[in-house]
Structures are given as structure tokens and as C-alpha cells.
A and B are shown apart, each in its own frame.
Chain A
Amino acid sequence: MSQAVAGVHASSRSGRRMALPRFHQVAAVVLVLVAVVAIAAPWLAPYSPSAQSLDQIRPPSGAHALGTDALGRDILSRMMYALRTDLLLIVPAAGLPMVVGTVVGTLAGYAGGVLDAAVRWIADVFQGLPLYIFLVALVAAMGRGPASLLVAFTALGWIVYARLVRTEVRRIKTAGFVEAAYLLGRSSPQVLVQHVLPHALKQTATYFVLDLGMALQGVAVLSFFNLGVKSGTPELGAMVADAQIFIRSSTWMVALPGAAIVVLGVCIAAVGDHLSSRTRGESDGR
């Protein structure tokens, strides 16, 4: 209620701003564009991302809109392909924890008892582990590559989902419409899938979006450490790392891929925050 009042104040004070689209709407459009560019990179990119030339370390120009890197590769083309690489890494890195956490949380919430207690204890203890340091250690043990990334994100990321889904399942288990479904003779798995899970999924979607941002940072920083994607793969963090030694003379080479990470991160967070404030508002209203 107080938020609504504040909203009226803010909008009446700056009436001109109201006509503009909201920040999260702009962010959503940017994310859709990014996804389109990532998917259509082979058709959109003016050059091959790995084609080398003798035009090395050139600032932005007509031929190369964002310049070329140390091997004479077109930076715009590499960034388009890098979006593809990054999306292909972060979607599974955020998705797998969601799937594992939802399954574990559903089972724990539905079964209760010993299973529930065990899951809660493991979650409590696991939460103390530092994600990114764990990530580096895993890469050292398993070798660089998407597998280490997926294992580390899943090992630590499932907890949030398991907690959330467990609480939701326990809450809904006793709701009227679920008991009605039982009375109509539905089996437990049917009730779970048809009635309980759809409610829980709305909230997990929010976390998924926010986790995309975390995964993006994780992928980028690992590549920056030279522990991420194979060298030569177009990836935003790796592009920053590769250009690092030219930072004094050619700052744009470092600035551009880094700025792309920032824009992507800000947009993901804006959409995620909007989703979370909406789901929170809904559950408050109920």
C-alpha cells in the first residue's frame, strides 16, 4: 500500500517520465535482441569469428565496426559468436540446479519426515561453501570445460530451489483444491504434477532468471582466469583476458566485451527483480 502511494508521488512529480517504457521492459527487449543475435550469429556476423588477417589491433572503422583484435579478427563478429557461447553455457548452468532443486524439494516437501530433515541438513551445510572458489578447485581437478561449470553450479545452486519448492509444496499440500483432487480419486503423482508443481514453478522461474546473471559472471571470470572455455573460443570474458595486455594502447578492446557483460547482467537482473517483486506482491495479496 505504501509503495502504491510512493508510486503516485513519484509519477506526479515527474509526469514526463511516465510516458517512457519501464526499465524492465527495455531490459526484456534487449535480452530478446541478444538471444536473436546469438542464434543468428552465423548469418549476421560480417566476418568469421576465427578468420585472421593482417589488419591487427585496428580501432573501430568502416570495415570493422568494432575494430580488430591482436590476430586481426573482427571484434564485432567475435562478440556476436561470444553471446552464443555464453548463452549456451549459462542457460544449462542456471537450468540444471533448478531441475535438481525442484525434484529434491518436491520429494522432501511431499514425503516429509526423515527425507525432509536430511535434505534440510545437507542444504544448511552446503550453503557455507564458497561457489566461485569451489568452481576454481573443480576446474583444477576435472579440467577446464562446461562439465566442471555445470557440476559446480548444480552442487551449490540446487539449495535455493529445493528450499523454495519444499516450502511451497508443504503449504499447498493441505490447500482445499488439492484435497478436492484427492477426493476425486487422483493419485499422489497426478496431484503433484497437475496442482502442486505449477504453483511452485512460478517462483522458481524468478530465481532462474537471477541465476542466469550469476552464471554469466561465473563463466566470464573463469575465462578471464584462463580456466574457462578452450583458448580461441569466442567468449566475452576470454576476449577481455586476451585483450588485457593491449589495454594501455587499445582500451576499446577490453572495454567493449566487458561492457557487453555489464549490459547483459543489468538486463537479466532488471527482469529478474521485476519478476521477484511481482511474485512477492502476489503472495502478499493472497
Chain B
Amino acid sequence: MEGSGWRLLGRRLLQVLPVLGLLLVVVFALQALIPGDPARAIAGPRATEAQVAHVRADLGLDETVTTRFASYVGRLAGGDLGESNRSDVPVTQIIGQRVGVTLSLLLGGLVASVLLAGPAALVLALRPRSRAAWVIERVLSVAINLPSFWVGLMLATVVGLRAGLLPVGGLEPGLGGHLRSYLLPCLTIGISLSPFLARSAATSLREVVASDYVVTARSVGASGTFLFRRHLLRNALPPTVTLLGFQAGALLFGTVIVEQTFALPGLGAEMITAAAQRDFPVVQGLTLVFGLGIIVFNLLADVAVSVLDPRTRTA
């Protein structure tokens, strides 16, 4: 990345600040939605009166909202996300133990999506009249409506339980076991994300194929692979990466769903368990982490676009 790339990153970081601020406000405001006594809810059902009083003092419920918000942000800045009210384990420690699984799923899910969407988009854009394109169109319009928890369960049944080919719950030990355990979850994420990607990529590919410079390059006898690498990929990729940024929320929630479906010990499964048990500090901390994740993902998408397409750097 050249100097202009860094400058762009700096500018994007500035644009992110209001989003970050709102995220903090929303996560903080979740407390206000707790019916009854928030101190009791946060301390949890096992807490003694003294502990509830302690939490109330910590939250500063008698102070003004702005003071409380300031002290909340202050604690966050110090790396303090509170403690689980089930186990008294610091939320940061829970995140540290589980973030690896979620990141692996994100990466694997992205790879699976690209592997599924890429060929589909190429067929749709380059052979739009073919029988294969017709079939792909129909498959995509169904796939876009598949609930991914159901896809995961069905994959688990057919590939995992019936055929006994792959593990369907938890992480198997060892690197090979880990890889095998991640295969079906990542495929599930891929199936739910790839329809969006394939459609967007096909649209941008079609535009490029019809553009004057490709027609010209063809007419002067440029080879297929040269055309593909030099013109098609370069120009069709940036809009698709931008779309991927928009889909960051769906991608992250996809990891939540498959962690729950395949019993993987990641951040999402923890959030669902915590929400069901009203473990509010954990839910609050994880909401913040997921929100930050989306902001970071969008930044990365922006940077990737600027690397792929130099024209966007000055814009």
C-alpha cells in the first residue's frame, strides 16, 4: 500500500468515529431496557443483597446518565468489560478463549462463499443463455431464502449423521480434526452468503463484458486469460468487495448460527447462552465486540477496494 492508501485509511477511521460513538451509546442504553432493577439483573440470580448493592454502586445508578456513560466508556478504555454473572469470569477472558473459533469460521465461511459464488457468477455473466445459467438462477433464488440454521441441520444429518463422513458437533482434537469440524459449518455460511455475492459479481461482470474497452481488446485479438485477468477481474471485483462489506452483519450472524447449530465454542454460541440465561454483562460485552467487528470488516473492505481500484483513492 502506497502513501495515499494510508491516507485513505486515516480518513475512513475518522468517518468511523460517529458509528463507534453510536455503538457505545446503544450498548450502554441496553441497560436502560432491562425491566425492574438493572443492578439485580446484572448481578445475576445468585447474587446476595450485598453484591447487588455493590453492583448498584459500580453502575452509579444514582448518578446522572452522562456521568454513568462517561464511567462506562472509561472502564471500556481500561479493558474492563465486566464479569459474567454466572461464573464471575471476566468477559474479556471469555472473549479471549472463544474469539479464535469465530475468526476461523469467518475466514472459512468467506472462502466457501467465494468458491461457491465465483463459478456461478462466471457462468451467469459469460454464458447467460445457457441451460446452466438458467439452473443457477433458480438455485440462487431458493438459496437466498434458506434459513441457515436449517441448512446446517440438514447438512449435519445428510453428510454427518447418515453418511458419517464429518463430525457434526464440537471440535475434534488435532489440526486435522479441527479442519474436519469446520468444514460443514463453513459450507453452511457459504451457502447463505454466496447467493448475494454471485448475483452482485455477475451484474458487475456483465457490465464489464459489454464495455467498450473489452470489446476493443477482443477485436484486436487479446487472449481469453489476458482479458479475464487484466479487465474482467480487476473491474468486477471492487463492487463485489464493497457488497461483502455491506454483508458483514449477515456474515457475523452466520457464525453465531452455525456455532449454535454445530455446538462450536465461539463468541456467538456464548452470546446465545448468555442471552437465554440473562447473563447481561456477557451479552453487552459481546454486542460491543460484534459491533466493532463489523466496523473493522467494513474498513478492511474499503481498503481492499482502494488497493484493487486505484481510482477510488482520490474520490
Contacts and interface: CB of A to CB of B under 8 A. Distances in A.
Our verdict on whether A and B bind, yes or no, reads: yes
A244 B153 CA distance: 8
Interface string A253-286: 0110010011001101110000000000000000
Contacts of A226: 272, 276
Interface in B121-146: 129, 141-142, 144-146
Contacts of A137: 27, 30, 275, 283-284, 287
Interface residues of B, number: 49
A9 interface: yes
Interface in A122-137: 125-126, 128-134, 136-137
Nearest to A221: B149
A24 to B, nearest CB: 11
B129 A266 contact: no
28 contacts: A125-B19, A125-B22, A126-B22, A128-B19, A128-B291, A130-B248, A131-B249, A132-B250, A132-B253, A137-B27, A137-B284, A137-B287, A138-B33, A139-B275, A141-B283, A142-B35, A221-B147, A224-B147, A226-B272, A227-B272, A237-B149, A240-B149, A254-B153, A254-B157, A261-B147, A262-B146, A268-B145, A269-B145
A227 B284 CA distance: 16
A141 B280 contact: yes
Given A131-B249, A136-B287, A266-B142, 14 more contacts: A121-B18, A125-B18, A130-B249, A130-B294, A133-B291, A137-B27, A140-B279, A142-B33, A221-B257, A227-B272, A247-B153, A262-B146, A265-B146, A269-B145
A225 interface: yes
Given A132-B256, A133-B253, A247-B157, A138 B30 contact: yes
Interface string B143-172: 011110110011011000100000000000
Contacts of A133: 249, 252-253, 256, 271, 287, 290-291
Contacts of B154: 254-255, 258
Interface of A: prevailing SS: helix
Interface of B: prevailing SS: helix
A248 interface: yes
A168 to B, nearest CB: 23
A217 interface: yes
A248 B157 contact: yes
Q: Which of A9, A126, A224 has the most CB of B within 10 A?
A: A224
Nearest to B293: A130
